[in-house]
Structure 1
Amino acid sequence: MLLCLLLLLLLLLPPLAMLWQQRSKDSQLSWLTNLWHQMAWVGLGWAAAWQQRRLEQSTLHAGQSQQRALVWCLQGQGLRCPPGGNTDVNTFRNHLPLTKANPDQEEESKGQFLAPASLQYHGEASLQATLLGLVALNKAYPEVLAPGGTACLTLTSPWPYPLPWLGHALGQVSPSGAKDPRTLLLEALRSSGLRALEAGTAVELLDIFMGLEAQGKELAEAVAAGNPGAPLPQRAAEIQEALEQGARGLALRLWPQLQVVVTLDAGGQAEAVAALEALWCQGLAFFSPAYIAFGGVVGLNLWPEKTQRLYLLPPGAPFIELLPVGEGTQEEAASTLLLVEAQTDKEYELVLTDHTSLTRCRLGDVVQVVGIYNQCPVVRFTYRLGQALSVRGEVTSEKVFSEALAQAVGQWPGAKLLDHSCVESHILDSCAGAAPHYEVFVDLRGLRNLSEENREKLDHCLQEISPHYKSLRFRGSVGSARVHLVRPGAFRVLREALAASPSSSFPPEMPRVLRHKHLAQLLQRRAVS
């Protein structure tokens, strides 16, 4: 009965608080808003404690939990058991071969790749990620979720499970129902007391800060003129002064009390996080409540205070298996492991089965186990198998290429890497009269032109890291990697094209290897050096 009354109050307080605030001309939040905030946190605390107990029980008995997850997935197809008559995991594996997910959303299927049908983005794992993430964030940074302390700068939220009243409960300055990213940014700029910035993904936030630099004068003038809200000329002057001092540390100059940035994690986000940490969001902590793959939560982050993003693989639905990564283990006949069988320091590819199909889908996302939580692995995501380059059968992985590129950029004076993507030369028909090679497009800050000497450093770094690539280069079977500097905004255009694809999911995984010519040409046309 008490819970029902609490829920009723939670539903009634938001409209009452908004009506009260409309009547009040004072800049301070009303007592009714504070009451709503406190009561919402009571409800959130109870719900989070319940989810924490469920998570503890499921991870303490991970084998049984995975068995239940398997049964649930089977029931999603109207089956009580897999072909063979029971829900034994070995029988399930024997009758359902591994399939591959589309390695990146812009590649054609051609019948050999099968994407997961639906990973239940709004399932229990999403609810756990949201509730436990909010409580963990509040514990690590007690002031960031106070009324008026947060602003979401994107139309999508970093919290996986939609809670319509959440924005009101936490007193977000972002207007509810806003459909214009510019409006969200202006509302955030109007408030100097923000303690947390939210964005759907790090690459979206990167685009926002680059756009803020480009349109800063116009945005400051809008704040001064009172669009939206009342005119704030003093705040507009503060914004203009902060922008004039450059990109490094801009977020803290705009919002001096800022502590943390919250975004969702997915494939291809690490580079954007590194760029934000080094430039615009220097000095701030980053927190991702969950790791998302193909639209579903596959990992929970319970440790906001950790500088490295670590995720617990939960034993519930979708049903997760681990495929050992290493020589001779990536064949179809390779045996997968359950979560309780994971070994620390080993690398595994994730295999998921959801409740809408009986497809055992190899996602291509590789994780390294860094610890154990009860009986479940705690992992860090390392690279994606589908983002490999190969022009002569050499298979340069995303991990190897990213390491080589980071080393090369470190040798380019003053340069900071913002984004990059690669194309095999045959995609752009650029190997006529030359050996096949890699075409590399980079977005840099601090360097306006690339000398030939700097371009060659990437190829040298690739040879140092990859003996196979070095031997092919020595024989002349593979040509030197060609590096192109693109103008600002080029990768934003690429992401918009990817998001327009019918197969696009949220958050979109940023591809590091482009397979389609028209997408590669988007970057080629924007190359300046």
Structure 2
Amino acid sequence: MLLLWLLLLLLLPPLAMFCQQRFQNSRLSWLISLQHWLAWRVLGWAATWQQRRLEQSTLHMSQSQQQTLKWCLKGDQGSCQTRKGNTDMSTFWNHLPLTKASQVQEKESEGQLLTPASPQYHGEASLQATLLGLLALRKSYPEVLAPGSTACVTPTSPWPHFFPWLGYALGRVSPHGAKDPQTLLLEALMSPGLRVLEAGTAAELLDVFVGLEADGKELAEAIAAVNPGAPLSRQAAELQEALEQGRQGLALRLWPKLKVVVTLDAGGQEEAVAALRALWCRGLAFFSPAYAASGGVMALNLWPEQPRGLYLLPPRVPFIELLPVKEGIQEEAASTLLLADAQRGEEYELVLTDDANRTRCRLGDVVQVVGAYNQCPVVRFTYRLGQALSVRGEVTSENVFSEALAQAVEQWPGAKLLDHGCMESSILDTCDGSAPHYEVFVELRGLRNLSEENRDKLDHCLQEASPHYKSLRFWGSVGPARVHLVGSGAFRALREALAACPSSSFPPEMPRVLRHRHLAQLLQKRVVS
């Protein structure tokens, strides 16, 4: 019976499309409603099955991790070969020594040209994240997943697992297979009844709204040209009017029924989310179905109503270990812990063994344990160890720098921070005989130039946030941070350059500390103040 329903579900979308092309009328609404209902029946069954698996694995977490550990060690997978049944941690540690993500990338790139990573993941973790994310979203916002209520405005999707029939079956606005961002945005703009706005990542959505501001007139003309006369001409006029009222709350003016924004969480997305919340998407909820990195889906989000992302670390594939972090410093000699050993309030670096390369990799992502789901830890991602600044051994971590920058921006009248990047002065050779220092590039809204007084505020905030940095500044070992304002679109150009790299990951983690001169120079060329 289930197979029959699945076959019917697969046949209905192309049938509906064919009929809509031949008979452009509303009499086929029953067919659209039927395929939507069938889609949710199938998705509901699949999600319920995944929920049961998750409940069982989290209720018996130690047993689940042991099974996953056995999977990591079994069979004929090169360095993972062991005697059958030998699944103790010491064997695992001996066969798979810890490596860093940068070392893995270097090893994979030796002697071969890497191709960009796929914008979708495979395996049960990605499937589980997608199914449970859709189910959780529907429970929290029952009306948002009706036919014609969802549109994705970027070529990549926030849902980790790709269902070829999902867009048709759920009646999504976005045209199937479209890769041009402007085409996707036009379709969304011509659908004022949207309730859900999707984008691959928050940074990509930020680029969409910045581009909408810049190209609003051309988009309005394109909408009017689709079918001259009412009602699309009215929509073009309404778009122009909405843009003229400013960026704050723009999304709700364009789509009055909009409820939630869905993006995929990854490293370096916090500032984009904050900018979207404060300006274009003010008043809307944000939801990410998972936290992902180049290694795959690492954590699940089952709580769309939470204002800040809370994630469950699942006990199955990929196999996750925890490396203790104390006061922002990695304990190199520390042994990894299993999920069952996680302590509430403590911080840990994630160590991931995935099914792609069987490498036990330190990701650099640091989480804080904030609760538990059955026996599994619930965490909040806090910062990345690889995104720290150090010109004299002071180690200014990503979260310390970001908090200091946010405090400084609050003191800049009218300014809203969209994005930032920083680097050590040695990258650009800007010391000029002076002490080494931080070079900081910011993209703002509401402020067109920076006074010297405003620039100095960042250095004062850094000294307040870091006693070590303050001491080095007092003795003159470190010079004051230099702040530069870049023009609109500078960080979009940076993201495009990063995505073009052969070894780029998906989702593209946004680096806050640039280590390569050509990327630093890309921002340097776009300085306006």
Cα offset for 1:20?
2.2
Q: 8 Å contact 2:148–2:194 — kept in the other structure?
A: yes
AA partner of residue 494 (structure 1): L
Deviations 1:134-185 (A, max 9, x none): 0110111111110000000011110000101111122111110112111000
What residue is the counterpart of 1:114 in the other structure? none
> Which SS does the other structure have where 1:102 is aligned?
helix
Give me the whole-angstrom Cα distance separating, in 2, the residues matched to 1:283 and 1:33: 31
What residue is the counterpart of 2:114 in the other structure? none
What residue is the counterpart of 2:392 in the other structure? 392
Give me the whole-angstrom Cα distance separating, in 2, the residues matched to 1:501 and 1:343: 38
> Which SS does the other structure have where 1:191 is aligned?
coil
Deviations 1:466-525 (A, max 9, x none): 000000000000000000000000000000000000110111000000000110000000
Q: Does residue 462 of structure 2 align to residue 452 of structure 1?
A: no
Q: Does residue 416 of structure 2 align to residue 423 of structure 1?
A: no
AA partner of residue 5 (structure 1): L
Distance 1:227 1:487, change over 3 A: farther
Cα offset for 1:423?
1.1
Give me the whole-angstrom Cα distance separating, in 2, the residues matched to 1:414 and 1:103: 43
What residue is the counterpart of 1:254 in the other structure? 254
AA partner of residue 241 (structure 2): E
AA partner of residue 17 (structure 1): A
Q: 8 Å contact 2:295–2:354 — kept in the other structure?
A: no
Give me the whole-angstrom Cα distance separating, in 1, the residues matched to 2:109 and 2:123: 27
AA partner of residue 318 (structure 1): P
Give me the whole-angstrom Cα distance separating, in 2, the residues matched to 1:103 and 1:528: 37
What residue is the counterpart of 1:282 in the other structure? 282
> Which SS does the other structure have where 1:421 is aligned?
strand
Give me the whole-angstrom Cα distance separating, in 2, the residues matched to 1:119 and 1:237: 36
Q: 8 Å contact 1:20–1:32 — kept in the other structure?
A: no
What residue is the counterpart of 2:525 in the other structure? 525
Deviations 1:289-340 (A, max 9, x none): 0000115100000001111111100011111000110169734431111011
Distance 1:511 1:105, change over 3 A: farther
Distance 1:192 1:424, change over 3 A: same
Give me the whole-angstrom Cα distance separating, in 1, the residues matched to 2:78 and 2:209: 50
What residue is the counterpart of 1:296 in the other structure? 296
> Which SS does the other structure have where 1:210 is aligned?
helix
What residue is the counterpart of 1:355 in the other structure? 355
Deviations 1:86-123 (A, max 9, x none): 110233124432211129989x9999xxxxx9999211
What residue is the counterpart of 2:377 in the other structure? 377
Give me the whole-angstrom Cα distance separating, in 2, the residues matched to 1:517 and 1:480: 21
Cα offset for 1:231?
7.0
What residue is the counterpart of 2:20 in the other structure? 21
Deviations 1:228-273 (A, max 9, x none): 9997101111111101101000000000000000000000001000
Distance 1:170 1:105, change over 3 A: farther
Give me the whole-angstrom Cα distance separating, in 1, the residues matched to 2:228 and 2:174: 12
What TM-score do you get using the length of structure 2 for normalisation?
Answer: 0.94
Distance 1:344 1:323, change over 3 A: same
> Which SS does the other structure have where 1:30 is aligned?
helix
> Which SS does the other structure have where 2:302 is aligned?
coil
AA partner of residue 87 (structure 2): T
Q: 8 Å contact 1:103–1:387 — kept in the other structure?
A: no
Q: 8 Å contact 1:119–1:297 — kept in the other structure?
A: no
Distance 1:80 1:430, change over 3 A: closer
What residue is the counterpart of 2:176 in the other structure? 176
Give me the whole-angstrom Cα distance separating, in 1, the residues matched to 2:104 and 2:431: 24
Q: 8 Å contact 1:417–1:443 — kept in the other structure?
A: yes
Q: Does residue 435 of structure 2 align to residue 435 of structure 1?
A: yes
Counting only pairs closer than 5 Å after superposition, residues 62-73 of structure 1 correspond to structure 2 as: 62-73=61-72
Give me the whole-angstrom Cα distance separating, in 2, the residues matched to 1:29 and 1:450: 58
What residue is the counterpart of 2:493 in the other structure? 493
> Which SS does the other structure have where 2:508 is aligned?
coil
Cα offset for 1:72?
1.9
Give me the whole-angstrom Cα distance separating, in 1, the residues matched to 2:74 and 2:166: 32
Give me the whole-angstrom Cα distance separating, in 2, the residues matched to 1:377 and 1:283: 30
AA partner of residue 21 (structure 1): Q
> Which SS does the other structure have where 1:87 is aligned?
coil
Give me the whole-angstrom Cα distance separating, in 2, the residues matched to 1:200 and 1:449: 31
> Which SS does the other structure have where 1:265 is aligned?
coil
What residue is the counterpart of 1:137 in the other structure? 137
Distance 1:38 1:467, change over 3 A: same
Give me the whole-angstrom Cα distance separating, in 2, the residues matched to 1:528 and 1:357: 44
Give me the whole-angstrom Cα distance separating, in 2, the residues matched to 1:305 and 1:347: 24
Distance 1:328 1:11, change over 3 A: closer
> Which SS does the other structure have where 2:205 is aligned?
helix
What residue is the counterpart of 1:324 in the other structure? 324
Give the unaligned 5+ runs of structure 2: 112-116
What residue is the counterpart of 1:36 in the other structure? 35
Q: Does residue 235 of structure 2 align to residue 225 of structure 1?
A: no
> Which SS does the other structure have where 1:420 is aligned?
strand
Give the unaligned 5+ runs of structure 1: 112-116
What residue is the counterpart of 2:5 in the other structure? 6
Give me the whole-angstrom Cα distance separating, in 2, the residues matched to 1:511 and 1:266: 11
> Which SS does the other structure have where 1:513 is aligned?
coil
Give me the whole-angstrom Cα distance separating, in 1, the residues matched to 2:31 and 2:499: 40
Give me the whole-angstrom Cα distance separating, in 2, the residues matched to 1:118 and 1:169: 24
> Which SS does the other structure have where 2:77 is aligned?
coil
Distance 1:147 1:251, change over 3 A: same
Cα offset for 1:25?
2.8
Q: 8 Å contact 2:73–2:92 — kept in the other structure?
A: no
> Which SS does the other structure have where 2:280 is aligned?
coil
Give me the whole-angstrom Cα distance separating, in 1, the residues matched to 2:415 and 2:346: 34
Give me the whole-angstrom Cα distance separating, in 1, the residues matched to 2:298 and 2:287: 16
Q: 8 Å contact 2:74–2:82 — kept in the other structure?
A: no
Q: 8 Å contact 1:105–1:498 — kept in the other structure?
A: no
What TM-score do you get using the length of structure 1 for normalisation?
Answer: 0.94
Q: 8 Å contact 1:151–1:173 — kept in the other structure?
A: yes
Q: 8 Å contact 1:462–1:470 — kept in the other structure?
A: yes
> Which SS does the other structure have where 2:102 is aligned?
coil
Q: 8 Å contact 1:73–1:357 — kept in the other structure?
A: no
Distance 1:430 1:47, change over 3 A: same
Give me the whole-angstrom Cα distance separating, in 2, the residues matched to 1:28 and 1:486: 53
AA partner of residue 211 (structure 2): G
AA partner of residue 19 (structure 1): F
Cα offset for 1:83?
5.1
Distance 1:10 1:174, change over 3 A: same
Q: 8 Å contact 1:345–1:369 — kept in the other structure?
A: yes
Q: 8 Å contact 1:292–1:298 — kept in the other structure?
A: yes
AA partner of residue 246 (structure 2): G
Identity, % of aligned positions:
78
Cα offset for 1:69?
1.2
Give me the whole-angstrom Cα distance separating, in 2, the residues matched to 1:78 and 1:47: 31
Distance 1:185 1:118, change over 3 A: closer
Q: 8 Å contact 1:295–1:507 — kept in the other structure?
A: no
AA partner of residue 344 (structure 2): T
Q: 8 Å contact 2:80–2:96 — kept in the other structure?
A: no
Give me the whole-angstrom Cα distance separating, in 1, the residues matched to 2:99 and 2:79: 22
What residue is the counterpart of 2:270 in the other structure? 270
> Which SS does the other structure have where 1:200 is aligned?
coil
Give me the whole-angstrom Cα distance separating, in 2, the residues matched to 1:521 and 1:467: 30
